[in-house]
Amino acid sequence: MRDENCLFCKIIAGDIPSAKVYEDEDVFAFRDINPQAPVHVLVVPKEHVCCAACVTEENSRVVAKCFEAIAKIGKAEGLESGYRVINNCGEDGGQSVMHLHFHLIGGRKLGEKII
Ligand code: DGP
């Protein structure tokens, strides 16, 4: 279900242009507007789920679909030696767009781990 006020819902619908890298029935992925590495892709479920804290038994299937897509995109982007997947959740987690998304970051040796 789409949220009319959501930036990523508008990108998924094509109302706002993006550099799409992957799409299937459940998932849309596009390049981050402010890349932090040579590859920085945002992987989002088409269904509007606001954040990781909004994942439930009813909608958790789309999270698995996002990770299936991440594995495919990682291969397609040539990230055989690895990458990082990040989810920011809520205000304290630094989430700025309230539509669940995973940052797929790679293409260089990434810096110090934060966990
Ligand atoms: P987060 O801070 O985890 O909510 O990440 C949101 C990301 O979304 C941030 O890295 C920048 C990206 N972003 C924000 N607006 C746009 C946009 O209009 N287009 C694209 N491609 N990325 C955007």
Percent of the chain residues past pLDDT 90, beyond the cut: 92
- The token pair that represents 79 in the structure block: 């990230």
Ligand 1 atom 17, closest CA: 33
CA dist., res. 82 & res. 32, Å (int): 19
Reported pTM:
0.97
Cα–Cα separations (whole angstroms), residue 67 to 22, 29, 82, 92, 112: 12, 11, 14, 24, 23
Q: Is 112 part of any domain?
A: no
For the CA of 7, the closest atom of ligand 1 is 18
Q: Is 23 part of any domain?
A: yes
Q: Is 89 part of any domain?
A: yes
Ligand 1 atom 8, closest CA: 32
Asked if residue 114 has pLDDT above 80, the reply is no
Q: Is 113 part of any domain?
A: no
Q: Is 11 part of any domain?
A: yes
| Tally of domains within the chain | 1
Domain that holds residue 52: 7-106
Query: Is the model more confident about 7 or about 112?
Result: 7
Q: Is 81 part of any domain?
A: yes
Of 96, 95, 84, 7, the C-alpha closest to 39 is 84
Identify whether 101 is a catalytic site residue.
Answer: yes
CATH of the domain at 38: 3.30.428.10
CA dist., res. 72 & res. 59, Å (int): 21
Asked if residue 36 has its Cβ within 6 Å of ligand 1, the reply is no
Q: Which contiguous run of DSSP H or E holds residue 30? A: strand 27-31
Catalytic residue among 40, 48, 99, 101: 101
Q: What is the pLDDT of residues 50-92, one digit of tens each?
A: 999 999 999 999 999 999 999 999 999 999 999 999 999 999 9
**In which residue are the tokens 């990434």 written?**
110
In testing the pocket of ligand 1, which one of 6, 18, 22, 33 has its CB within 8 Å of the most ligand atoms?
33
Q: Is 114 part of any domain?
A: no
CA dist., res. 81 & res. 72, Å (int): 14
Asked if residue 18 has its Cβ within 6 Å of ligand 1, the reply is yes
Q: Is 2 part of any domain?
A: no
**H helix runs in 25-82, sequence order:** 61-76
Tell me 52's DSSP state: G
